[in-house]
Amino acid sequence: MNFKKISLLILLLLVADQALKIWVKTHMHLDESIMVIPDWFQLRFIENNGAAFGMHIASRGGFDWGKLLLGVFRIVMVGFIGWLMYHLSCKRRDTPKGVIAGLALIFAGAMGNILDSAFYGLIFSESTPYTVAHFGGHYAGFMMGKVVDMFYFPLFQWNGVPRLLRFLVDSNNYFFGAIFNLADTYISIAVVYLLLFQYKFFSK
């Protein structure tokens, strides 16, 4: 897989991620839901300040240092993965196409969430439970924007879940209550794929 094809793949993944996020941001108010498949799949608009699947790095004081550190980490990771893809595709001719595709998914996923954090606060008004955001606002500074999430799969309600497993359910005890986006999906699929099917290449 040559570098032009990799770049095109990443561009297509980013466009899909950003197009969906922008549509949700400009057509839904915060915490609004659209039922796609009854009792199983919803588009539910939330925003988060942190990592994949709504996790957050706590920080004290008025400035969100945890969010800044996360942003810096993502940028460093994107830079490293970009270099690794270039090195493997141009210098290592024995690299399986699946390895490059997996790294491209991780790159696109990390980049997609970086774009939210970096620019959404500068170009959108704030989303609220009562108002839909629009272009031309300014609700946060550079790298302080919120990440848009929308995929919600409340598979079943698990009442009486043990305390140690509370992270597996949401506030209403629905199993897999995480709400996530396309960028998170790219990263998750790629990591699982690389671990299961390409571990031999990385263990060389």
Catalytic positions are 149, 184
Distance CA 53, CA 39 (A): 20
User: Of the candidates 136, 115, 120, 85, which has an alpha carbon nearest to the alpha carbon of residue 17?
Assistant: 115
Residues 6+ away with beta carbon under 8 Å from 20? 150, 181, 182
Tokens representing residue 94 in the block: 């024995």
Distance CA 53, CA 177 (A): 9
Distance CA 145, CA 122 (A): 8
Question: With the C-alpha atoms ordered 18, 122, 42, 33, is the resulting torsion angle positive or negative?
Answer: negative
Question: Is the Cβ–Cβ distance between 147 and 48 less than 8 Å?
Answer: yes
The values of phi and psi at residue 159, to 5°, are -80, 145
